[in-house]
Structure 1
Amino acid sequence: MARFLSAAVLLTAVLAPAVNNAVALAQLTSGCTSSSFTTPSWLVRDFQSQTSGNLTVVDFHVLNRGTNVTTELRCSASSATTTSGWQPCSARNRTTSDQPFVAYFQVDNSTAWFLFNETWSCTTTACQSTKPLLVKAALSAPVKITPGYVSGPVGHDTKGCTAQSRTPAWEVVASQINLRNVSGNVQSGNAFVIIRNDHLGYTASCGGSFSDVSGHQPLSCQGQTAFRRPDKYQIGTNLQFDPKTFALGVNQTWFCDDLDPAQPIAITASGSTPPPLECTDFPESSHTFCTGGSNGTFAGNITSRALLQPYSLNDPLPTAESCTIASVLSPAWWFNNFETNTTRNGSETVTARFGMELQTGAQATGYVAEIVANGVRYAAPTNGTSAGELPWNKCVIESVGDPVLAPTGCEFRYEMASRFLGLRVQWQCADLDAKSP
Structure 2
Amino acid sequence: MLFTENFLHYIWKFKLFNHDSLQTTSGEELQILSAGLHNHDSGPDFHNARIRIGETTWAGNVEIHVSSSDWRKHKHQDDAAYHNVILHVVYHDDEPLHQPSGQKVATLILKNRISGDLYARYHQLVYGNQQVIPCEGSIKNIKSITLHNWLTRVLVERLQKKSLAIIQALQYNRGNWEETFYQQLAISFGFKVNALPFELLAKALPQNLLGKHKNSSLQIEALIFGQAGFLADEFTDTYPNILKAEYLFLQKKYGLVPIEKHLWKFMRLRPQNFPTIRLAQFAALIMQSNHLLSKVLETDDVTALRKLFTVTHVNEYWENHYRFDKEAKPSPKNMGQASVNLLLLNTLAVFLFSYGHHQQLQPYVNRSLQLLENLPVEQNHIINDFEDLGIKINSAFESQALLELRNSYCNFKKCLQCGVGNQILNIT
Please give the TM-score of this superposition, normalised by the length of structure 1.
0.20
Q: Which has the higher strand share?
A: 1
Select the structure with the greater relative contact order (CA < 8 A; seq sep ≥ 6).
Answer: 2
Larger radius of gyration: 1
TM-score where L is the length of structure 2: 0.20
Kindly indicate which of the two structures has a greater share of residues assigned to helix: 2
